């Protein structure tokens, strides 16, 4: 399997003060799903942002293709950002542009096609994501889940190799979550996009993730799949799995 | 605080202020130049899609402001051109009148008043626009998609504002001069209507060149200062009005200094 992202001896910067574990190293292949789970407020988002190259790691390297996320070269940085898409539940759209304009904006900037072509691709993506709104509506007049799905469509217009999602099901109801999961799985399957997802949805992680990272403030545990994770005897993991009403 | 420390603090204050101002100007100049460099390096000059932001900026700054500029142009025509012709007429200086009108109204009052309009209208709007975008994470969202803010947000505003400043000053100066001359022709002496035909000769190559350079520079400075202060907003909504006020005051000061320096350059 072709490697999409290589994490080498990495420690995230934010939880450095409490972190007593070893640096983590692993690779993410194209079409692979990696899930980041763990108790709340333990730095999961910071680890995800580190993998996305948005936070410089305290130590180690994150490499996509030949490019390291700490590169200083502007052209390389733009190339990297096109490969590594990051969308969080707080990602903001451009408030002065309507939904469709927001979706084609980044692809248009990077000159990935003519306007008609980009418009068609954006419309198709929005249909797949079940985004329904008036074409000229500004983000301020949309629901949060609509805005999130548009931000996701905007990132996917760049055809990234790795899609990193921070808490993607935060603003969706049960039906919306189900549809979004189906969309993501289809995307991984059809486009061989690697998916790194930070979520509180343990069921999704156990069912679909090939790698599970369990993040605590002190340490990050890496597992190859659900059975290895469920067989872990680490106390914090046992507590997390068995905590009633959490999932 | 010991007396020595007190004296050192008081006497050091002007020096510190001067260094701060100097560093601010250096920072501002680098910011504007980097933005235009990034835009040029991305070959945006040949990409018609990049023109949309510039055109929007020109429409907002120039076209939408036309009613205000027309009204102010007519008032200025009365207050400055008409009054100036009246005063010069009474002291017998009418022979050089068109040259004086071109130098005073065309090269000084026109660009300065147009710059005031641009600062109060466009400059403040740019700071609030970019400041709010920064505050709401819109700019971070763009950067995460590999979009260079200098090239996408800043440079089109600088270029659009520079072009708009030149265009509105041409329009403003034309109205001011023509309306003032017509008023003086009606109320002072019908001979003054002749200025309408001789005025053209007063705008020689040097004056036209200085007029174009000055206005492009004014527009560029106003937009650079506004974008710089808009991007200086970090995390609090209260920073937006603070940065807007700083941008307006600093733009005014810089415009006056640049105008003075250009005046000296023209004299020498």
Q: pLDDT per residue over B204-225, tens digit each?
A: 888 899 999 999 999 999 999 9
Q: State pLDDT tens for residues A197-216.
A: 999 889 999 999 999 999 99
Distance (Å, whole) CA B127 – CA B216: 20
pLDDT band of residue B262 (cuts 50, 70, 90) is very high
Alpha carbons within 13 angstroms on the beta-carbon side of residue B230 total: 28
- Has residue A95 been placed in a domain? no
- Has residue A193 been placed in a domain? yes
Q: State pLDDT tens for residues A92-150.
A: 999 989 999 999 999 999 989 988 999 999 999 999 998 877 767 899 999 899 999 99
Q: Do A109 and B147 touch (CB under 8 A)?
A: yes
Q: CA of B137, closest CA in chain A: separation in Å?
A: 6
Q: Do A92 and B148 touch (CB under 8 A)?
A: no
- Has residue A166 been placed in a domain? yes
pLDDT band of residue A80 (cuts 50, 70, 90) is very high
Query: Given strand A67-68, what is the order of strands in its sheet?
Result: A24-29, A3-11, A59-64, A67-68
Residue of B138, B144, B152 lying closest to A81 (CB–CB): B144
- Has residue A135 been placed in a domain? no
Percentage with pLDDT > 90 across chain A: 66
Q: Do A95 and B142 touch (CB under 8 A)?
A: no
* B-interface mutation test, from A74, A76, A104, most B Cβ less than 10 A away: A74
Residue A244, CA distances (Å) to A217, A238, A240, A241, A247 in order:
21, 12, 9, 8, 8
> What is the arithmetic mean of pLDDT over B227-233?
97
> What is the arithmetic mean of pLDDT over B47-70?
78
Between chain A and chain B, the number of residue pairs with CB atoms below 8 A apart is 57
* A-interface mutation test, from B43, B140, B141, most A Cβ less than 10 A away: B141
What pLDDT is attached to residue A15?
55
Distance (Å, whole) CA A213 – CA B169: 62
CATH of the domain at A234: 3.40.50.300
Per-position b or e across B82-112, b if 16+ CB within 10 A of its CB: bebbbebbeeeebeebbbbbbbebbbebbbb
Q: Do B141 and A151 touch (CB under 8 A)?
A: yes
pLDDT band of residue B94 (cuts 50, 70, 90) is low
A238 near A218, Cβ under 8 Å?
no
Backbone φ and ψ for A67, nearest 5 degrees, come out as -105, 130
B229 near B245, Cβ under 8 Å?
no
Distance (Å, whole) CA A5 – CA A83: 10
Helix or strand run (H / E) with residue A220: strand A220-223
What pLDDT is attached to residue A217?
87
Residue A97, CA distances (Å) to A103, A106, A138, B133 in order:
10, 12, 6, 12
CA A49 remoteness from chain centre: 9
- Residues from chain A that touch B148, judged by Cβ atoms under 8 A, are 74, 78
Return the higher-pLDDT residue of B171 and B55: B171
User: What's the number of domains chain A is made of?
Assistant: 1
What pLDDT is attached to residue A233?
92
Highest mean pLDDT among B17-31, B59-73, B186-200: B17-31
A32 near A164, Cβ under 8 Å?
no
- The nearest alpha carbon in chain A to B143 belongs to A81
- Has residue A22 been placed in a domain? yes
Residue of B137, B144, B152 lying closest to A109 (CB–CB): B152
- Has residue A102 been placed in a domain? no
Domain that holds residue A55: 3-90+161-242
What pLDDT is attached to residue B43?
66
Q: CA of A78, closest CA in chain B: separation in Å?
A: 4
Distance (Å, whole) CA B220 – CA B222: 6
Q: CA of B161, closest CA in chain A: separation in Å?
A: 19
> What is the arithmetic mean of pLDDT over B193-202?
85
What pLDDT is attached to residue B88?
85
- Residues from chain B that touch A106, judged by Cβ atoms under 8 A, are 142, 145-147
> What is the arithmetic mean of pLDDT over B125-134?
96
Residue with tokens 């789970």: A37
A9 near A182, Cβ under 8 Å?
no
Average pLDDT, chain A: 90
Q: CA of A208, closest CA in chain B: separation in Å?
A: 27
Query: Given strand A194-198, what is the order of strands in its sheet?
Result: A84-88, A162-166, A194-198, A33-37, A211-215, A220-223
What pLDDT is attached to residue A188?
95
- Residues from chain B that touch A54, judged by Cβ atoms under 8 A, are 144
Distance (Å, whole) CA B222 – CA B181: 31
Helix or strand run (H / E) with residue A240: helix A235-242
- Has residue A132 been placed in a domain? no
- Has residue A17 been placed in a domain? yes
Nearest alpha carbon to residue A129 among A170, A179, A80, A186: A179
What pLDDT is attached to residue A245?
57
Q: Does A79 touch chain B (CB under 8 A)?
A: yes
B137 near B116, Cβ under 8 Å?
no
Average pLDDT, chain B: 90
- Residues from chain B that touch A105, judged by Cβ atoms under 8 A, are 142, 145, 147
Q: CA of B83, closest CA in chain A: separation in Å?
A: 45
> What is the arithmetic mean of pLDDT over B139-146?
94
Q: State pLDDT tens for residues A7-40.
A: 999 988 865 567 888 899 999 999 999 999 999 8
Q: Do B146 and A91 touch (CB under 8 A)?
A: no
What pLDDT is attached to residue B50?
64
- Residues from chain B that touch A90, judged by Cβ atoms under 8 A, are 137
A245 burial type by CB count under 10 A (0-12 exposed, 13-18 middle, 19+ buried): exposed
Q: Do B148 and A82 touch (CB under 8 A)?
A: no
* A-interface mutation test, from B52, B129, B144, B148, most A Cβ less than 10 A away: B144
- The nearest alpha carbon in chain B to A77 belongs to B146
Distance (Å, whole) CA A232 – CA A226: 10
């Amino acid at each position: 399997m072709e490697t999409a992202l290589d994490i080498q001896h990495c420690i995230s910067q934010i939880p450095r003060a409490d972190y007593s574990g070893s640096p983590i190293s692993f690779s993410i292949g194209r079409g692979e799903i990696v899930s980041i789970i763990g108790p709340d407020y333990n730095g999961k988002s910071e680890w995800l942002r580190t993998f996305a190259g948005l936070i410089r790691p305290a130590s180690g390297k994150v490499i996509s293709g030949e490019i390291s996320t700490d590169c200083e070269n502007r052209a390389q940085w733009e190339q990297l950002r096109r490969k590594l898409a990051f969308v969080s539940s707080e990602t903001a759209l451009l408030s002065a542009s309507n939904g469709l304009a927001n979706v084609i904006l980044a692809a248009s900037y990077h000159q990935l096609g003519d306007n008609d072509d980009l418009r068609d691709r954006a419309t198709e993506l929005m249909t797949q994501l079940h985004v329904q709104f008036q074409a000229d509506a500004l983000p301020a007049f949309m629901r949060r889940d609509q805005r999130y799905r548009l931000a996701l469509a905007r990132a996917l217009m760049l055809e990234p190799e790795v899609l990193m999602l921070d808490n993607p099901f935060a603003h969706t109801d049960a039906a919306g979550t189900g549809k979004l999961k189906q969309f993501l799985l289809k995307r991984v399957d059809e486009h061989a996009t690697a998916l790194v997802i930070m979520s509180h949805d343990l069921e999704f992680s156990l069912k679909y993730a090939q790698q599970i990272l369990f993040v605590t403030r002190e340490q990050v545990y890496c597992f190859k799949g659900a059975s290895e994770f469920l067989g872990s005897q680490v106390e914090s993991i046992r507590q997390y799995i068995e905590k009633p009403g959490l999932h | 605080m010991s007396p020595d420390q007190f004296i050192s603090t008081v006497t050091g204050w002007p020096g510190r202020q001067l260094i701060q101002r100097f560093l601010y100007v250096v920072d501002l100049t680098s910011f504007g130049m980097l933005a235009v460099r990034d835009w040029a390096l991305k070959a945006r000059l040949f990409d018609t899609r990049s023109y949309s932001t510039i055109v929007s900026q020109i429409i907002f700054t120039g076209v939408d402001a036309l009613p205000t500029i027309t009204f102010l142009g007519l008032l200025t025509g009365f207050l400055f051109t008409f009054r100036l012709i009246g005063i010069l007429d009474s002291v017998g200086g009418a022979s050089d009148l068109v040259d004086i009108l071109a130098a005073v109204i065309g090269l000084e009052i026109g660009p300065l008043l147009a710059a005031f309009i641009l600062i109060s209208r466009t400059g403040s709007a740019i700071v609030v626009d970019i400041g709010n975008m920064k505050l709401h994470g819109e700019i971070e969202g763009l950067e995460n998609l590999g979009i260079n803010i200098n090239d996408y947000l800043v440079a089109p505003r600088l270029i659009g504002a520079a072009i708009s400043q030149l265009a509105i000053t041409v329009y403003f100066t034309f109205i001011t001069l023509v309306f003032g001359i017509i008023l003086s022709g009606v109320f002072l002496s019908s001979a003054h209507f002749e200025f309408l035909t001789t005025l053209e000769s007063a705008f020689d190559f040097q004056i036209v060149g200085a007029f174009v350079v000055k206005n492009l520079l004014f527009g560029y400075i106003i937009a650079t200062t506004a974008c710089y202060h808009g991007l200086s907003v970090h995390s609090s909504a209260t920073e937006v009005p603070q940065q807007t006020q700083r941008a307006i005051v600093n733009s005014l000061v810089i415009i006056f200094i640049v105008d003075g320096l250009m005046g000296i350059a023209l004299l020498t």
